Amino acid sequence: MDKILVHGGNKLRGNVRISGSKNSALPILAATLLTKDPCTISNVPDLSDIHYMLQILSQLGASVERASGTVRTQAEEIKSEAPYDIVRKMRASVCVLGPLLGRMKEAIVSLPGGCIIGDRPIDLHIKGFEALGAKSVIDHGNVHLSATELRGAEISLRGKQGPTVLGTDNVMMAATLAKGTTIIDSAAAEPEVVDLANFLNKMGAKIEGAGTRRIVIEGVKELHGADHSVIPDRIEAGTYLVAGAMMGTEVRLQRANPEHLACVIAAVRESGYEVDTIADGVRVRGNGSPKPLRLTTEPYPGFPTDMQAQMCALLCQTSGISVITETVFPQRYMHVSELKRMGADITLEGQTAIIRGVPRLSGAPVMASDLRASAALVLAGLQAEGVTEVNRVYHIDRGYESIDEKLNALGARIERVKV
């Protein structure tokens, strides 16, 4: 197990290349199970979650080759049951349910369970599958789906905290091979859903409306192979945008899509930082006197919950009182206690964090609790005095490709240490 040592105080300057989106790549790789033909997926990030997904594809019977960010798969003959030993390592592995049900008319996958940021059940996924005609049984920790055939239906996927992204992905994949027309109401509109729909359409699916709250899928008899390049990761880009605001003189995010970052860019600008769209991405410049903010996380196109922890880190040393309200995952504040160990002044009132800016943070040993919390602690360490020791960095390796190397290339001083 590694830990990261962040030596605070170094200014950041230069270019950072944004990797492919983890949250696009995972369902797109799962979607290759829908066809017997070869598929080639490029701009795939080198992350532990991706490694687990490729292991699942292999265990299901697909051939998998990977080299230099490109994955080639062929799922000529596959099984319908995903093994627990791999599925348990990654919640997003549940996205193989849709492709397996669509192609095999059966899927057996272990329940992913909850996680540190709160319970994230798959009841909406199952609701969607049942609307398509599948029967579901939960037994011995597994979801068992089966159907003699799938038929199109009108399905609402709105949950308590808004639309479900993975649920939209899953139902959309299954519906591509259903008879008739499927309409998903209250669909997730995230760019990653659009990216998956674009790949499925390249495979011969007939999907319209991705990126809106209403997606229409006309079922087809079969899908064929396709090549596809994964979109840039908007959360990685947002994280480096915050790093550049906190510690940068001028940081350029190459391959960042400003449309996907609109809400994050607006928040950083509102806090007083200069953010510009440039030819190959986005540029951010630091500011000596940032302003406090009021933010509320919302489903896309609102401010993303996956950027809440990073914004907490940014606002810790912003003069005045900032307020962040978390409406998507109200329990997603495990990073707050660790930021307070570094000297932050944060009070939690239900699902709202009240942040009073302090003049300085000091390095301390801290514990990463989840993927985005770990990124927030690294960011806080960049501006803290002394050394911040971030433990359990396997969390950060799930979603950030070589974060230590990328930040060091900008001028940070970060060490990865084996323990």
Is 263 marked active-site? no
**3-class secondary-structure state, position 60:** coil
105 Cβ contact partners less than 8 Å away, ≥ 6 residues apart? 146, 147, 148, 149, 150
Q: Rounded to an integer, what distance in angstroms lies between the CA atom of residue 316 and that of residue 306?
A: 18
Helix axes 22-31 and 165-175, enclosed angle (nearest 10): 20
Name the CATH topology of 2-18+232-418.
UDP-n-acetylglucosamine1-carboxyvinyl-transferase; Chain (3.65.10)
22-229 to CATH, choices 3.30.200.20, 3.40.50.20, 3.65.10.10, 3.40.50.720: 3.65.10.10
Q: Any bridge partners for residue 275, and if so which? A: 284
Q: How confident is the model at residue 114 (pLDDT cuts 50, 70, 90)?
A: very low
pLDDT at residue 125 greater than cutoff 80: yes
Give the mean pLDDT of 27-41: 98
Percent of the chain with pLDDT over 70: 98
Percent of the chain with pLDDT over 90: 86
More confident position, 412 or 419: 412
Task: List the catalytic residue out of 115, 263, 312, 316.
Answer: 115
Question: Residues spanned by CATH 3.65.10.10 within the chain?
Answer: 2-18+232-418, 22-229
Model confidence, pTM: 0.96
Is 119 buried (19+), middle (13-18) or exposed (0-12) by CB count in 10 A?
exposed
pLDDT at residue 106 greater than cutoff 60: yes
Which of 105-119, 177-191, 233-247, 371-385 has the weakest average pLDDT? 105-119
Q: Rounded to an integer, what distance in angstroms lies between the CA atom of residue 277 and that of residue 270?
A: 16
